[in-house]
Structure 1
């Protein structure tokens, strides 16, 4: 299988960006990478398909419901084909606002016509026919498990390719959330999203909702180029962060300290970002399955992060948005007349 050049989506054209309707207001949404358990420090394996952590989803869902936050569970193949995992998610959907979407991990998603390599873990690197075949298998499995076809998608490892969004649109998907704003995965064989800001935009008939990433610190106005420059120096980005000059903060409790996330929320809301996109991995609900939640103390910090961040959003007047809320707003959203107000943070 020939190596493909890195996928580097360009800055969205002004006419592609969404201007949410006034009644939408300020919102946040939460997508959950609902997936199998595997060793994050080991090579990828096709037989690492355990989904025991999904048993924690109903209790976690109840806690999020208590915080007023519906979730969209982006389900991959091991989860969609395990009856106990499906039953656990079905219980979580009883809140009436949460939803199920799709997440594609190619190394555990048939058909298995590719070698298991780091580059092939990004599904957009695969031949288009194989990417499409894996997507078709997964979409059908989710539809069978939950009784409806999914319309929201995330490529595992944020691994979109040149033709991925067109494949999704052809299959009835309406939302993609694979782009992690301001991140570059080319060193691992993946895509480069440094040109992507935080505003939603239209692409190939889909609405792209990038995972929100905010630059904080006194030098945040120069965040993009300064962070890239510091990245060329050993420990350069860490030095900037510790000095309070510049910090890149994705809105996830995983490897993003609470205080930094709270500041990022304040900056994003203060700069007028209409929709904040937050995320986490379902195995983090049980200690020992991800690098972010190794023990009970980490799990307590995980929940403390959510309590603090969602509490701040509530105080700032930012309401939750379900998948259905977003789809309804997208149907009447216009293109904006101004530039990305939070993309350069």
Structure 2
């Protein structure tokens, strides 16, 4: 998809706004908390200082909790450019069905029967509209779990954007989708009804131009990816403070600018704002590094000419953008 000339270079921030849960075993427990949502206003103020209006990808548990919903409503009032998206965690979104839904493969919503996936999507939309007074037009499948019927279901419900594909990542070993051939560049799906906005990951290193072929192969070799990364030959760098050292992120942003990438998507999970809820922020020191990551990354984005984009600005640019189809094999069935 070719962006209009006036769009320039932009970046957007999406936040997986969700309950705290055991990342090792999603769906293994019914004991969920949303205490980390209370940390969002402080993070929103940090973003506002840099002119960033993030998109909160809200899941069912958060939207259904009145205290959590109130926090997000206040944020939306404080910055009208801030937006709400829908994030589907199938293991907590009604209808829950039987215990079979807790199987690992079924934590990817796209693996559910069409009727079950769409029923969950409808329940999610209903609770977001009721509690946040917004109708989302951007979607993320929890665990990036797109399926063969997802995009058509989104189009039928008025969605315009999907942000479920994590560029260059493969979840097929867990029963999920394979995005290894997806780049950072947006593209259209479902006859143009939906624009896919992949989460950005950039290959770095001397062999980066062969990354799409080499990186998957190295995953089959014990410690192969780590060895190539240490030698400066090939690394996959997602633009997130969760597990990505800031020096690597800054370097990747420079390469993205050199490659002509016009829109970058940065993301993180809301539980990372409180130590102890994710593998990435265990201590107060980790949290300090998390916040410092954003400061350095915002500075790097500015140096390379990337300005923050709100959801509405992205929507307007998509409406003016020239059409382009996605990578072969990624057009879901309709």
Flag whether TM exceeds 0.5 (same fold).
Answer: yes
**In the alignment, structure 1 residue 105 sits paired with structure 2 residue 93:** no
CA displacement, residues 133-152 of structure 1 (integer Å, 9 cap, x when unaligned): 00000001101111121111
| Cα distance in structure 1, aligned partners of 2:237 and 2:30 | 33
> Which of residues 284, 289, 312 in structure 1 aligns to 2:272?
284
Runs of 5+ in structure 2 lacking a partner? 328-334
Which residue of structure 2 aligns with residue 240 of structure 1? Answer: 228
Any conservation in 1 of the 2:139–2:159 contact (CA below 8 Å)?
yes
CA displacement, residues 253-300 of structure 1 (integer Å, 9 cap, x when unaligned): 101111111111000011110000110000001111000000101001
> Which of residues 119, 132, 141 in structure 2 aligns to 1:133?
119
Between 242-251 and 36-45, the greater mean CA deviation after superposition: 36-45
**In the alignment, structure 1 residue 198 sits paired with structure 2 residue 184:** yes
Per the TM alignment, residue 336 of structure 1 is displaced from its structure 2 partner at its CA by 5.8
CA displacement, residues 160-194 of structure 1 (integer Å, 9 cap, x when unaligned): 00110000110011110000011110111100111
Per the TM alignment, residue 335 of structure 1 is displaced from its structure 2 partner at its CA by 2.6
Any conservation in 2 of the 1:283–1:289 contact (CA below 8 Å)?
yes
| Cα distance in structure 2, aligned partners of 1:85 and 1:284 | 16
Which residue of structure 2 aligns with residue 250 of structure 1? Answer: 238
Which residue of structure 2 aligns with residue 175 of structure 1? Answer: 161
Which residue of structure 1 aligns with residue 72 of structure 2? Answer: 89
Secondary structure of the 2:91 match is helix
TM-score (norm 1): 0.91
Between 20-29 and 195-204, the greater mean CA deviation after superposition: 195-204
Secondary structure of the 1:301 match is helix
Per the TM alignment, residue 42 of structure 1 is displaced from its structure 2 partner at its CA by 3.5
| Cα distance in structure 1, aligned partners of 2:154 and 2:26 | 28
Which residue of structure 2 aligns with residue 21 of structure 1? Answer: 4
Any conservation in 1 of the 2:187–2:324 contact (CA below 8 Å)?
no
Per the TM alignment, residue 48 of structure 1 is displaced from its structure 2 partner at its CA by 3.0
Per the TM alignment, residue 43 of structure 1 is displaced from its structure 2 partner at its CA by 5.1
Task: Kindly tell me the number of residue pairs found equivalent between the two proteins.
Answer: 321
| Cα distance in structure 2, aligned partners of 1:316 and 1:222 | 24
> Which of residues 227, 230, 251 in structure 2 aligns to 1:263?
251
| Cα distance in structure 2, aligned partners of 1:336 and 1:110 | 36
Which residue of structure 2 aligns with residue 77 of structure 1? Answer: 60
TM-score (norm 2): 0.94
Any conservation in 1 of the 2:188–2:323 contact (CA below 8 Å)?
no
| Cα distance in structure 1, aligned partners of 2:123 and 2:23 | 25
| Cα distance in structure 2, aligned partners of 1:149 and 1:51 | 22
| Cα distance in structure 2, aligned partners of 1:215 and 1:91 | 38
Which residue of structure 2 aligns with residue 45 of structure 1? Answer: 28
RMSD: 1.3
Runs of 5+ in structure 1 lacking a partner? 1-17, 340-345
Any conservation in 1 of the 2:229–2:235 contact (CA below 8 Å)?
yes
Per the TM alignment, residue 89 of structure 1 is displaced from its structure 2 partner at its CA by 1.1
| Cα distance in structure 1, aligned partners of 2:204 and 2:23 | 28
Per the TM alignment, residue 90 of structure 1 is displaced from its structure 2 partner at its CA by 1.5
Any conservation in 2 of the 1:29–1:276 contact (CA below 8 Å)?
yes
